[in-house]
Structure 1
Amino acid sequence: MSNSNRYVVFCVLLAGVCFISWKRSLIGVKDALMLSGRGLILLAVCTLMIYMIQRLKSFFSPVCQEPSASPLHESSRLKQEQARINQQNKHNEKTSDYVEAVIKPRQNLFLQQKMERYHRMTGETWKLSQGFTVGEDESETHDDVDVNETPYQRAKRRRRLQTAAQVTVQQDVPKEKTVIVLPDEPQPDAEGVVKIALRCPSGRTIHRRFLKTWSSLLLLDWIKKSGYPPALYTLCTSYPRKPLLTAADVSLEDAGILVDTVLNVEEKDPSTT
């Protein structure tokens, strides 16, 4: 029983005794109050003594060791530990499989791409080829090779084949680049002169004077010379926005350029080409 419960029981008993004695006139009110006070003091002294005895006993008595776990609890703990170890091993196996199947191939591919980019930047693309064994290209694989052919004859035939290959390569002369030549700009006060401004995708604006009677294809030559090939770019009017008509038999006047005009150089939509 706790101390609070003891206090309550003692107070109830003491109050009952005092009430019964007072009712039967065994003791007076003053004596009943004195008896109650002495009882409370006695209870307080007893409680203090019990508390001090328990403290002294716990101070002088040795620390009690915890009882050893039962065999059932020990076996359960071992099973749980073994289950955790097995689960951790499964996780480690999955991690190693993922590293071998995904991480390492991805790292090898990334390293190979970096090496290829490095060799291309340094001009050592020959390192990217598999190569061949020395003397492998000199081996004869043709069926018409004469086994009685002397080394001199074999070398002569090989030189003749190399010369023929060089002549074939020299015949493949690259085509000459087309040089774009625009007509000279007319004078500002000439009749039929219009000034055209091009707004380029880079943000710059270029100006040039044309005659309205000139062909509209000169505008395509102009943007091509400015670095915007007509195969990828087109000319559009500012307002209303629409593609400018350009053809060999269409003049600037026929295309709608009657006064000074601003044209936009825009990229063509790949879906419409």
Structure 2
Amino acid sequence: MAARGVVGIFFLSAVPLVCLELRRGIPDIGIKDFLLLCGRIFLLLALLTLIISVTTSWLNSFKSSQVYLKEEEEKNEKRQKLVRKKQQEAQGEKASRYIENILKPHREMKLRKLEERFYQMTGEAWKLSSGHKLGIPDLPEEPSQTAEEVVTVALRCPSGNVLRRRFLKSCSSQVLLDWMMRIGYHTSLYSLSTSFPRRPLAVEGGQSLEDVGITVDTVLILEEKEQTN
């Protein structure tokens, strides 16, 4: 469209010049010269049109290539953003799996060990296992210090801790085993013995603490049983 406009402008500007030449040379010009002049003019117009067309086509192709390059750059940038986003998501999922599968179990195990150590040191190892609490009867209420017929039993644990509790002399001797299990030492693994003289404490059903010889404040030793194959 631009080439046609340029050719039209050139043609209109050339018409007065042609008329002027024709006016000056009418007496001497012939039909052959006139036709030759017209041919030259049209040849010049055709050459100019070709030059303009080629130039316009080149400019259009250059603009198209620039637009294409810009579009390609935008597409590449979008692809790079998408790739970076996927990489970040993959890294996030990998970090989440690492935290869930490695760090979290490691922290839980560490906390569990600290909790076990704490309860073992405080003599409350029974809190670590609900199995030891099943089937264990409730302990009788601890009598006050001013109550009559009361003895204090000190239990020396394998950890070195000493736990104390008051009991009535008349209460069943089985309460000592219940207390032992309550603090986390199962009767199948541990036994009670007197401190002096050192002998196993015979706890039989129906006997009271007074019957088994605990009539005054007493220290009992909690020791591990020998395991047989």
Same fold (TM over 0.5): no
Q: Which has the higher contact order (CA 8 A, sep 6+)?
A: 2
TM-score (norm. length: structure 1): 0.35
Greater helix proportion: 2
